[in-house]
């Protein structure tokens, strides 16, 4: 059904439309405006007022000021990736209260923008230039936030109060980091995200593996049921450990979790033991695993060591008859 829809839209517009944008914001092709890569220096003021989906990516727009979206009250999806944006005036989104998806990745924002977006569900501010992860206070009002992507190569430290505004928000998935090295992590920072369910960490720690210990201890205090580590072990490029606190079969995942499905089809993962006392073994094993260079070897060792308590599942077996 969705596949058919995507195909139709592709033919009509010849464009790469955002799958989440289509899922959350699509009502009619006539309400989609794809103006990406057109060498425009500003958001046009004469766009149809019923526009719901707007892609302005890869246009040289350095600043977003006051009236840019003043007539686009129905906007639900906005993407301005790779525009060289350096500044966003705080009130620029005031007139678009129904915005659900905002993607400002790959710009040059020197601070995390102070945005008031009460209905936002997916927010991508990754690969910008900010030097701190300190979130503006207004982020506490983003009660519907599901996926938050945050990361800057210039931010090398995480401070205790950085994520405070999100402490009461039921965030499903946080993707944090920009594939660069972190120098400091203040213990307790991620523990504040009490309702966090899944985290993907894109950071390297090099010799500072104690940072990872602090992070794991903090995540143990949240509701995180899945973690992904991208390149967290410097020796191997593509190290990834996936931990699931509840067993799930690939087939039971809805199609919206495309990324998760593809990982489960390829990777081996550890299952979180139900019994409290066995969890200690699990955490100890996980730490040992992350401290060592050769993931597969260590994984096998860990598997043998805790095979009585924690069944190791190889998802390959499930994937043969998967039609996705
Ligand atoms: C983009 O527009 C500028 C003027 O605004 C012009 O100088 C430049 O050649 C244009 N680039 C392309 C690729 O069209
Ligand atoms: C934001 O846009 C970039 C560039 O197109 C894309 O790779 C990324 O997946 C988007 N972010 C989200 C959360 O969809
Ligand atoms: C962030 O890093 C980029 C690339 O190294 C640099 O050009 C930019 O000036 C830095 N910005 C800040 C705010 O530190
Ligand atoms: C979160 O909720 C607690 C308890 O109701 C409250 O004390 C705290 O100020 C709230 N924090 C934010 C950032 O809203
Ligand atoms: C995880 O949290 C439990 C208490 O909720 C604690 O007993 C245990 O030591 C923690 N494990 C680690 C590795 O921090």
Number of separate domains in the chain:
2
Shared domain check, 98 and 196: yes
Residues 6+ apart with CB under 8 A from 59: 35, 36, 37, 38, 39, 40, 41, 80, 83
Q: Of 193, 66, 83, whose CA–CA distance to 140 is shortest?
A: 193
Which residues does ligand 2 sit against, CB inside 6 Å? 20, 81, 103, 105, 122, 124, 147, 149
Give the ligand whose atoms come closest to the C-alpha of residue 288: 5
pLDDT of residue 280: 67
Same-domain status, 219 and 159: yes
Residues with CB under 6 A from ligand 5: 217, 220, 283
In tens, the pLDDT along 213-231 reads: 788 889 888 888 777 766 4
Instruction: Tell me the ligand closest to 138's alpha carbon.
Output: 4
> Count H helices, E strands: the chain?
7, 16
- The better pLDDT of the pair 100, 2 is held by 100
SS (H, E, C) 278-303: HHHHHHHHHHHHHHCCCHHHHHHHHH
Q: Do 128 and 117 fall into the same domain?
A: yes
Mean pLDDT of 122-131: 98
Domain check: are 179 and 162 in the same one? yes
CA atoms of 211 and 181, how far apart (whole Å)? 11
What is the reported pLDDT for 295? 44
The ligand 4 atom nearest the CA atom of 165: 13
Residue 251 pLDDT: 53
Band (pLDDT 50/70/90 cuts) for residue 309 is very low
Regarding predicted confidence, which is higher, 237 or 133? Answer: 133
Do 115 and 127 fall within a single domain? yes
Boundary of a domain, candidates 247, 280, 307:
247
Quick one: 252 and 226 in the same domain?
Answer: no
Note whether 275 and 174 are same-domain residues. Answer: no
Q: Which residue has the tokens 């439309």?
A: 17
Q: Which CATH number goes with the domain that contains 212?
A: 3.80.10.10
The pLDDT assigned to 315 comes to: 30
Pick the last residue of a domain from 216, 247, 278: 247
Q: Looking at ligand 3, which atom is closest to the CA of residue 110? A: 13
Residue 9: give the domain boundaries.
Answer: 2-247
pLDDT of residue 285: 63
Of 247, 270, 293, the domain-final residue: 247
The set of protein residues with a Cβ atom below 6 angstroms from ligand 4 is 140, 164-165, 167-168
- Model pLDDT, residue 279: 65
Checking phi first, is residue 188 left (phi over 0); if not, alpha (psi -120 to 50) or beta? left
How crowded is the C-beta side of 324, counted as CA atoms within 13 Å? 19
pLDDT at 304 over 80: no
Nearest CA to ligand 3 atom 13: 110
Is 236 found in the same domain as 117? yes
- The three-class DSSP label of residue 184 is strand
CA dist 13 and 181 (Å) reads 40
Query: What pLDDT, on a 0 to 100 scale, did the predictor assign at position 272?
Result: 57
Model pLDDT for residues 148-183, shown as the tens digit of each residue: 999 999 999 999 999 999 999 999 999 999 988 899
Q: How many CB atoms lie within 10 A of CB 26?
A: 20
Q: What is the pLDDT of residue 79?
A: 98
* Residues 267, 233 share a domain: no
The mean pLDDT of 103-130, rounded to a whole number, is: 96
Q: Is 170 in the pocket of ligand 3 (CB under 6 A)?
A: no
Assign 3-state DSSP to the chain and report helix, strand, coil percentages, each to 5.
25, 20, 55
pLDDT at 3 over 80: no
- For ligand 4, the distance from its centroid to the CA atom of residue 206, given in whole angstroms, is 35
- Using the predicted structure, report yes or no on whether residue 9 has a pLDDT greater than 70: no
- The pLDDT of residue 206 is 66
Q: Which of 34, 76, 124 to mutate to test the pocket of ligand 2 (most atoms within 8 A of CB)?
A: 124
Q: Write the pLDDT tens digit of every residue in 180-215.
A: 889 999 999 999 999 998 898 888 776 666 787 788
- What are 22-63's pLDDT values in tens digits? 899 988 889 999 999 999 999 999 999 999 999 999 999 999
Higher pLDDT, 15 or 196: 196
Six token digits for residue 255: 């199609």
If asked whether residues 235 and 89 sit together in one domain, one would say yes
Residues 176 and 292 in one domain: no
Rounded to an integer, the average pLDDT of 89-106 is 93
Residues 145 and 287 in one domain: no
């Amino acid at each position: 059904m969705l596949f058919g829809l995507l195909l139709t839209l592709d033919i009509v517009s010849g464009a790469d439309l955002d799958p989440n944008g289509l899922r959350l914001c699509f009502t009619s092709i006539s309400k989609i405006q794809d103006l990406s890569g057109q060498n425009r220096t500003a958001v046009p003021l004469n766009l149809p007022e019923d526009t719901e989906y707007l892609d302005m990516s890869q246009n040289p727009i350095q600043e977003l000021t006051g009236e840019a979206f003043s007539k686009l009250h129905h906007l639900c999806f906005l993407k301005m990736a790779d525009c060289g944006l350096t500044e966003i005036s705080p009130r620029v989104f005031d007139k678009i209260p129904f915005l659900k998806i905002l993607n400002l990745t790959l710009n040059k924002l020197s601070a995390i923008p102070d945005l008031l977006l009460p209905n936002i569900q997916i927010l991508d501010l990754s690969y910008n230039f900010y030097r701190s992860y300190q979130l503006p206070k207004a982020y506490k009002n983003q009660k519907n936030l599901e996926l938050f992507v945050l990361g800057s190569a210039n931010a090398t430290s995480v401070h205790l109060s950085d994520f405070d505004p999100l402490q009461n928000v039921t965030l499903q998935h946080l993707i944090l980091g920009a594939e660069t090295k972190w120098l400091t992590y203040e213990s307790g920072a991620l523990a504040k995200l009490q309702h966090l369910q899944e985290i993907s960490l894109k950071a390297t720690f090099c010799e500072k593996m104690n940072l990872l210990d602090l992070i794991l201890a903090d995540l143990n205090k949240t509701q995180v049921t899945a973690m992904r580590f991208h390149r967290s072990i410097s020796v191997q490029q593509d190290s990834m450990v996936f931990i699931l606190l509840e067993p799930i079969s690939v087939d039971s995942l809805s199609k919206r979790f495309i990324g998760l499905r593809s990982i489960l089809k390829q990777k081996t993962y550890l299952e979180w033991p139900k019994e409290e006392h066995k969890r200690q073994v699990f955490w100890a094993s996980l730490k040992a695993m992350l401290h060592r260079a050769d993931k597969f070897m260590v994984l096998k060792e860990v598997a043998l060591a805790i095979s009585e308590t924690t069944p190791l599942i190889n998802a390959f077996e499930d994937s043969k008859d998967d039609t996705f």
